[in-house]
Amino acid sequence: MEYRTLGRTGLRVSEVALGCEGLMKKNLEEVKAFMDYAYASGINFIDLYSPNPEARTNLGYALKETRQNWVLEAHLCAVWKNGQYLRTRKIKDVKEGFEDLLVRLQTDYIDVGMIHYVDAMKDFHEVFDGEIIEYMKGLKAAGKIHFIGMSSHNPLVAMEAVKTGLIDVLLFSINPCYDMLPASENVNDLWDDKKYEHPLHNIDPDRQALYELCLKENVAITVMKAFGGGDLLDASLSPFGVALTPSQCIHYCLTRPAVASVMSGAHTIEEIQQSVAYCSADEQMKDYAPVLANIPKHSFAGNCVYCGHCAPCVKGIDVASVNKFLDLCIAQNEVPETVREHYEALEHHASECIACGSCMRNCPFQVDIISKMKKAVEIFGK
């Protein structure tokens, strides 16, 4: 298992992590076995969005002996009423829900306290201009949550949250299908087959801008819906009409700017095994480019997806990283100091490009890499 730094929190988290879906409808013994297997596999990070009291209680017992070794990303504003989950902005319910969370998890702190599910701009203002954010700030000051996060499916709303400077972690829905769709306040648009009926081209600019903004601000992205609810793993269900493997989906997410970890929605130990297999997969098994380059109707042509097919460069340039840093600067219309530092740290720079064209011949997406190397020299000076 490889570990990444969770943005400006400084926490080290496993690249492959767990969503909480696998905790549902399991008894304590089953949850304990499930979490023990995940822990033995190197997973140290879990997202708990569900307020289901039984799931919370079972997880608390399962992690009791190893709590200090786990990073918990747990959601506020998700409560349990009349036997079902509800999202709420009522501060009384939010407070009661959080205290219940601590008791059931048998802990006195949450590593990342998440503001649950903010997709609409009106909802964003209600949260960030009102009692919710003040309560979150108070919890952080008291040490009951160590960092503030938010979950969203809407890149425009997510960018507004990042711009406040108040959130350290963003839980966001990422996969190749969703990345092609424009922003929407209706989460159902992401898996509506009608949205994929007409040809789509390249990553939506708002989603790309969000990833680059998070990288600039050192706000970590954790990924939900990497498998599209399982649809991307089945050609008959995928909006693309072709299937990806779990390793290809995970690798796509981990090559997006600012992504630290992928919350695998495993329901069984076998599904954990399929996700953890990413850690031992070779580059060919992780490679998503052949699938994306041959999607019927839709196209990523001309757009760098940081797949690494441009390698090896005869001069040793990490072309994908140069492109990633270049895209960030172009999107922000400036050269952030952190990006300049990352570029400087590269062993070889764009100025060493001899325009031999081997990278362009290797690229499945017809990217004009030589022009991008020239542009990188203009921006970074070497």
Q: Give pLDDT tens digits for 121-160.
A: 999 999 999 999 999 999 999 999 999 999 999 999 999 9
For residue 174, the model assigns a pLDDT of: 94
Give a yes or no: residue 301 inside a domain. Answer: no
Give a yes or no: residue 298 inside a domain. Answer: no
Q: Please indicate, yes or no, whether residues 215 and 328 belong to a single structural domain of this protein.
A: no
Number of structural domains, the chain? Answer: 2
Q: Are 261 and 223 in contact (CB under 8 A)?
A: yes
How far apart (Å, rounded) are the C-alpha atoms in residues 299 and 108? 48
DSSP designation for 256? S
User: Is the model's pLDDT at 178 over the cut of 80?
Assistant: yes
For residue 122, the model assigns a pLDDT of: 94
Q: Please indicate, yes or no, whether residues 89 and 145 belong to a single structural domain of this protein.
A: yes
Confidence of residue 44 (pLDDT cuts 50, 70, 90): very high
Q: Please indicate, yes or no, whether residues 277 and 330 belong to a single structural domain of this protein.
A: no
Q: Please indicate, yes or no, whether residues 200 and 336 belong to a single structural domain of this protein.
A: no
Q: Please indicate, yes or no, whether residues 332 and 275 belong to a single structural domain of this protein.
A: no
Which of 236, 261, 282 lies at the terminal end of a domain, its last residue? 282
Which of 256, 282, 308 lies at the terminal end of a domain, its last residue? 282
Give a yes or no: residue 299 inside a domain. Answer: no
The CATH number linked to 183 is: 3.20.20.100
Q: Please indicate, yes or no, whether residues 143 and 260 belong to a single structural domain of this protein.
A: yes
User: Is the model's pLDDT at 296 over the cut of 90?
Assistant: no
Give a yes or no: residue 44 inside a domain. Answer: yes
Confidence of residue 343 (pLDDT cuts 50, 70, 90): confident
Confidence of residue 345 (pLDDT cuts 50, 70, 90): confident
Confidence of residue 106 (pLDDT cuts 50, 70, 90): very high
Other Cβ atoms closer than 10 A to 214: 25
How far apart (Å, rounded) are the C-alpha atoms in residues 278 and 210? 26
Q: Please indicate, yes or no, whether residues 270 and 338 belong to a single structural domain of this protein.
A: no
Which of 282, 309, 337 lies at the terminal end of a domain, its last residue? 282
User: Is the model's pLDDT at 338 over the cut of 80?
Assistant: no
Helices (H), the chain: 28-40, 53-62, 91-105, 121-128, 131-142, 155-163, 176-179, 205-217, 246-254, 269-276, 283-286, 289-292, 319-332, 337-345, 358-362, 369-380
User: Is the model's pLDDT at 13 over the cut of 90?
Assistant: yes
Q: Please indicate, yes or no, whether residues 239 and 369 belong to a single structural domain of this protein.
A: no
SS3 242: coil
Give a yes or no: residue 290 inside a domain. Answer: no
Give a yes or no: residue 140 inside a domain. Answer: yes
User: Is the model's pLDDT at 74 over the cut of 90?
Assistant: yes
Q: Which residue has the higher pLDDT, 295 or 209?
A: 209
Range of the domain at 339: 319-380
Q: Please indicate, yes or no, whether residues 102 and 212 belong to a single structural domain of this protein.
A: yes
Other Cβ atoms closer than 10 A to 238: 21
Residue-wise pLDDT for 238-265, tens only, equals: 888 888 999 999 999 999 999 999 999 8
Token code pair at residue 249? 């989906």
Give a yes or no: residue 45 inside a domain. Answer: yes
Q: pTM for this structure? A: 0.86
Residue 221's Cβ-count burial label (10 Å; 0-12, 13-18, 19+) is buried
Give a yes or no: residue 247 inside a domain. Answer: yes
State the distance between the two ends of the chain, measured CA to CA, in whole angstroms. Answer: 35
For residue 190, the model assigns a pLDDT of: 85
Provide CB contacts within 8 A for 278, sequence distance 6+: 15, 16, 246, 247, 250, 251, 286
User: Is the model's pLDDT at 163 over the cut of 90?
Assistant: yes
For residue 248, the model assigns a pLDDT of: 93
Q: Please indicate, yes or no, whether residues 234 and 347 belong to a single structural domain of this protein.
A: no
For residue 16, the model assigns a pLDDT of: 96
Rounded to the nearest integer, the mean pLDDT of the chain is 90
Q: Please indicate, yes or no, whether residues 248 and 363 belong to a single structural domain of this protein.
A: no
Token code pair at residue 317? 């340039």
